[in-house]
Amino acid sequence: MEKHVVVIYPHPDDESFGAAGTIAKFREEGVPVTYLCGTLGEMGRNMGSPIFANRETLPEIRKKELIDACEVLDMNLEMLGYRDKTIEFEDRNQIALDLKSYLDKIKPSLVITHYPDYAVHPDHNALGAAAIEAVRLMNPEDRPTVWAQAISNDYEEVLGKPEIENDITAIFDKKIDAIFAHASQAQGVLGQRRDEASVNIDLKEIAKQNMGIERFYIWKF
Protein backbone atom coordinates (compact mmCIF):
# COMPACT_ATOMS: atom_id res chain seq x y z
CA MET A 1 0.00 0.00 0.00
CA GLU A 2 1.20 3.52 -0.78
CA LYS A 3 2.10 5.81 2.10
CA HIS A 4 1.19 9.13 0.52
CA VAL A 5 0.54 10.02 -3.12
CA VAL A 6 1.48 13.41 -4.58
CA VAL A 7 -0.14 14.49 -7.86
CA ILE A 8 1.71 17.20 -9.80
CA TYR A 9 -0.12 18.78 -12.75
CA PRO A 10 -0.25 22.40 -13.96
CA HIS A 11 -3.97 23.09 -14.40
CA PRO A 12 -7.14 22.92 -12.35
CA ASP A 13 -8.96 19.99 -14.11
CA ASP A 14 -5.85 18.00 -15.13
CA GLU A 15 -6.32 15.98 -11.94
CA SER A 16 -9.97 15.25 -12.71
CA PHE A 17 -9.67 14.43 -16.40
CA GLY A 18 -6.37 12.62 -15.95
CA ALA A 19 -6.35 10.81 -12.64
CA ALA A 20 -9.59 11.23 -10.68
CA GLY A 21 -10.33 7.50 -10.69
CA THR A 22 -6.84 6.60 -9.57
CA ILE A 23 -6.98 9.24 -6.84
CA ALA A 24 -10.40 8.03 -5.68
CA LYS A 25 -9.09 4.44 -5.48
CA PHE A 26 -6.18 5.53 -3.30
CA ARG A 27 -8.53 7.48 -1.05
CA GLU A 28 -10.81 4.43 -0.71
CA GLU A 29 -7.76 2.51 0.54
CA GLY A 30 -7.13 5.30 3.05
CA VAL A 31 -3.98 6.58 1.31
CA PRO A 32 -3.51 10.36 1.70
CA VAL A 33 -3.29 12.22 -1.61
CA THR A 34 -1.95 15.76 -2.10
CA TYR A 35 -2.38 17.74 -5.32
CA LEU A 36 0.33 20.27 -6.17
CA CYS A 37 -1.48 22.36 -8.78
CA GLY A 38 0.87 24.57 -10.79
CA THR A 39 -1.39 27.37 -12.03
CA LEU A 40 -4.97 28.57 -11.92
CA GLY A 41 -5.45 28.02 -15.64
CA GLU A 42 -5.62 31.80 -16.02
CA MET A 43 -5.29 31.67 -19.82
CA GLY A 44 -7.84 28.94 -20.47
CA ARG A 45 -10.23 29.65 -23.34
CA ASN A 46 -13.24 27.77 -22.01
CA MET A 47 -15.47 30.37 -20.40
CA GLY A 48 -18.40 28.07 -19.62
CA SER A 49 -21.23 27.13 -21.92
CA PRO A 50 -23.28 29.27 -21.77
CA ILE A 51 -20.48 31.73 -21.06
CA PHE A 52 -20.21 32.86 -17.43
CA ALA A 53 -16.50 33.71 -17.09
CA ASN A 54 -14.18 36.19 -18.74
CA ARG A 55 -10.39 36.55 -18.92
CA GLU A 56 -10.33 38.56 -15.66
CA THR A 57 -12.80 36.52 -13.59
CA LEU A 58 -11.55 33.11 -14.78
CA PRO A 59 -8.68 32.67 -12.27
CA GLU A 60 -10.92 33.07 -9.20
CA ILE A 61 -13.63 30.90 -10.75
CA ARG A 62 -11.17 28.14 -11.56
CA LYS A 63 -9.62 28.38 -8.11
CA LYS A 64 -13.01 27.72 -6.57
CA GLU A 65 -13.67 24.86 -9.00
CA LEU A 66 -10.30 23.37 -8.08
CA ILE A 67 -11.06 23.53 -4.38
CA ASP A 68 -14.46 21.89 -5.01
CA ALA A 69 -12.94 19.13 -7.13
CA CYS A 70 -10.36 18.39 -4.43
CA GLU A 71 -13.20 18.18 -1.94
CA VAL A 72 -15.03 15.70 -4.19
CA LEU A 73 -11.86 13.61 -4.41
CA ASP A 74 -11.08 14.17 -0.72
CA MET A 75 -7.47 15.18 -1.35
CA ASN A 76 -5.20 17.91 0.01
CA LEU A 77 -4.43 20.85 -2.23
CA GLU A 78 -1.41 23.11 -2.59
CA MET A 79 -1.48 25.88 -5.21
CA LEU A 80 1.99 26.62 -6.54
CA GLY A 81 1.24 30.06 -7.98
CA TYR A 82 2.78 29.80 -11.44
CA ARG A 83 1.03 31.35 -14.41
CA ASP A 84 -0.79 29.38 -17.08
CA LYS A 85 1.16 28.96 -20.35
CA THR A 86 4.43 30.29 -18.88
CA ILE A 87 5.91 27.30 -17.02
CA GLU A 88 8.21 26.32 -19.90
CA PHE A 89 9.77 29.80 -19.80
CA GLU A 90 10.61 29.68 -16.11
CA ASP A 91 13.90 28.26 -14.81
CA ARG A 92 13.26 24.50 -14.75
CA ASN A 93 15.75 23.91 -11.98
CA GLN A 94 14.09 26.48 -9.78
CA ILE A 95 10.70 24.85 -10.28
CA ALA A 96 12.27 21.46 -9.56
CA LEU A 97 13.68 22.81 -6.28
CA ASP A 98 10.29 24.31 -5.42
CA LEU A 99 8.60 20.94 -6.03
CA LYS A 100 11.33 19.12 -4.14
CA SER A 101 10.68 21.26 -1.06
CA TYR A 102 7.10 19.90 -1.02
CA LEU A 103 8.29 16.33 -1.61
CA ASP A 104 10.88 16.61 1.18
CA LYS A 105 8.10 17.65 3.52
CA ILE A 106 5.38 15.21 2.42
CA LYS A 107 7.71 12.25 1.77
CA PRO A 108 5.36 10.53 -0.69
CA SER A 109 5.84 6.95 -1.82
CA LEU A 110 4.33 7.75 -5.24
CA VAL A 111 4.34 10.85 -7.47
CA ILE A 112 1.93 11.17 -10.42
CA THR A 113 2.76 13.72 -13.13
CA HIS A 114 2.75 14.23 -16.90
CA TYR A 115 5.18 12.41 -19.20
CA PRO A 116 7.52 15.14 -20.54
CA ASP A 117 7.34 15.66 -24.32
CA TYR A 118 4.27 13.40 -24.65
CA ALA A 119 1.71 15.46 -22.73
CA VAL A 120 0.60 17.87 -25.52
CA HIS A 121 0.28 21.12 -23.54
CA PRO A 122 3.62 22.93 -23.01
CA ASP A 123 2.75 23.44 -19.32
CA HIS A 124 2.18 19.67 -18.92
CA ASN A 125 5.54 18.87 -20.52
CA ALA A 126 7.43 21.51 -18.54
CA LEU A 127 5.95 20.75 -15.12
CA GLY A 128 6.25 17.00 -15.73
CA ALA A 129 9.94 17.46 -16.53
CA ALA A 130 10.43 19.62 -13.45
CA ALA A 131 8.63 17.06 -11.26
CA ILE A 132 10.84 14.25 -12.54
CA GLU A 133 13.89 16.44 -12.01
CA ALA A 134 12.73 17.13 -8.44
CA VAL A 135 12.59 13.40 -7.73
CA ARG A 136 15.93 12.81 -9.47
CA LEU A 137 17.52 15.37 -7.14
CA MET A 138 16.57 13.24 -4.13
CA ASN A 139 18.81 10.52 -2.73
CA PRO A 140 18.07 7.35 -4.75
CA GLU A 141 16.95 5.51 -1.59
CA ASP A 142 14.46 8.28 -0.71
CA ARG A 143 12.93 8.62 -4.17
CA PRO A 144 9.23 7.91 -4.57
CA THR A 145 8.02 5.90 -7.56
CA VAL A 146 6.97 8.17 -10.41
CA TRP A 147 3.96 7.45 -12.62
CA ALA A 148 4.11 9.58 -15.76
CA GLN A 149 1.01 10.19 -17.86
CA ALA A 150 1.28 10.60 -21.63
CA ILE A 151 -1.50 12.21 -23.67
CA SER A 152 -0.19 12.67 -27.23
CA ASN A 153 -1.89 10.69 -30.00
CA ASP A 154 1.29 8.75 -30.77
CA TYR A 155 2.55 7.96 -27.28
CA GLU A 156 1.85 4.24 -27.35
CA GLU A 157 3.59 3.82 -30.71
CA VAL A 158 6.70 5.51 -29.38
CA LEU A 159 6.78 4.54 -25.71
CA GLY A 160 5.09 1.14 -25.83
CA LYS A 161 2.33 -0.02 -23.50
CA PRO A 162 2.01 1.86 -20.21
CA GLU A 163 2.85 -0.37 -17.24
CA ILE A 164 -0.06 0.93 -15.16
CA GLU A 165 -3.60 0.57 -16.52
CA ASN A 166 -6.18 1.48 -13.92
CA ASP A 167 -9.69 0.44 -14.88
CA ILE A 168 -11.75 3.00 -13.00
CA THR A 169 -15.24 2.26 -14.41
CA ALA A 170 -16.39 1.01 -10.99
CA ILE A 171 -15.86 4.48 -9.50
CA PHE A 172 -16.56 6.44 -12.64
CA ASP A 173 -19.30 8.54 -11.04
CA LYS A 174 -16.70 10.02 -8.71
CA LYS A 175 -14.61 11.02 -11.71
CA ILE A 176 -17.64 12.58 -13.38
CA ASP A 177 -18.40 14.56 -10.22
CA ALA A 178 -14.80 15.79 -10.10
CA ILE A 179 -14.83 16.75 -13.79
CA PHE A 180 -18.12 18.61 -13.46
CA ALA A 181 -16.82 20.49 -10.41
CA HIS A 182 -14.87 22.32 -13.12
CA ALA A 183 -18.05 23.84 -14.50
CA SER A 184 -16.27 26.41 -16.65
CA GLN A 185 -14.21 23.71 -18.36
CA ALA A 186 -16.15 20.43 -18.45
CA GLN A 187 -18.59 21.34 -21.23
CA GLY A 188 -15.96 22.79 -23.53
CA VAL A 189 -13.43 20.03 -23.08
CA LEU A 190 -15.92 17.19 -23.46
CA GLY A 191 -17.76 19.06 -26.23
CA GLN A 192 -14.56 19.13 -28.24
CA ARG A 193 -14.58 15.36 -28.30
CA ARG A 194 -18.20 15.42 -29.38
CA ASP A 195 -17.28 17.69 -32.31
CA GLU A 196 -14.72 15.16 -33.33
CA ALA A 197 -17.06 12.20 -33.13
CA SER A 198 -19.74 14.36 -34.79
CA VAL A 199 -22.46 12.45 -33.02
CA ASN A 200 -24.90 13.75 -30.55
CA ILE A 201 -24.35 11.69 -27.44
CA ASP A 202 -24.41 12.45 -23.79
CA LEU A 203 -21.29 14.19 -22.44
CA LYS A 204 -21.05 11.66 -19.63
CA GLU A 205 -21.05 8.84 -22.16
CA ILE A 206 -18.21 10.55 -24.01
CA ALA A 207 -16.28 10.80 -20.79
CA LYS A 208 -16.87 7.13 -19.99
CA GLN A 209 -15.78 5.96 -23.45
CA ASN A 210 -12.64 8.07 -23.41
CA MET A 211 -11.61 8.01 -19.80
CA GLY A 212 -12.60 4.65 -18.30
CA ILE A 213 -8.96 3.63 -18.03
CA GLU A 214 -6.21 5.84 -16.57
CA ARG A 215 -2.75 4.91 -17.87
CA PHE A 216 0.69 5.70 -16.51
CA TYR A 217 4.29 4.80 -17.28
CA ILE A 218 6.64 3.97 -14.45
CA TRP A 219 9.53 6.43 -14.84
CA LYS A 220 12.99 4.87 -14.99
CA PHE A 221 15.75 6.97 -13.49
114 burial (CB, 10 Å; 0-12 / 13-18 / 19+) is buried
Candidate residues 29, 141, 157, 196; the one interacting with other proteins per rule CB under 8 A = 196
- Cβ atoms of 18 and 9 closer than 8 Å: yes
Interface residue with other proteins, options 93, 94, 169, 192 (CB under 8 A): 192
Q: Give the three-state DSSP class for 147.
A: strand
Asked if 56 touches other proteins (CB under 8 A), the answer is yes
CB of 124 to Zn ion, least distance (A): 6
User: Least distance from C-beta 10 to Zn ion, angstroms?
Assistant: 6
Question: 213: part of which helix (H) or strand (E)?
Answer: strand 213-218
Helix (H) or strand (E) holding 8: strand 5-9
- Per DSSP, 49 falls in state T
- DSSP character at residue 121: S
| Residues within the interface to Zn ion (CB under 5 A) | 11, 14, 121
Name the residue nearer to other proteins (CB basis): 3 or 55.
55
Residue 145: contacted member of Zn ion, other proteins, none (CB under 5 to 8 Å, by partner type): none
Euclidean distance between the first and the last CA atom of the chain, given in angstroms as a whole number: 22
Instruction: Please choose which of other proteins, Zn ion, none residue 14 contacts, taking the beta carbon within 5 to 8 angstroms, the exact cut-off set by kind.
Output: Zn ion
Q: Which residues bind other proteins (CB under 8 A)?
A: 43, 45-51, 54-57, 59, 83, 85, 120-123, 151-153, 187-188, 191-193, 195-196
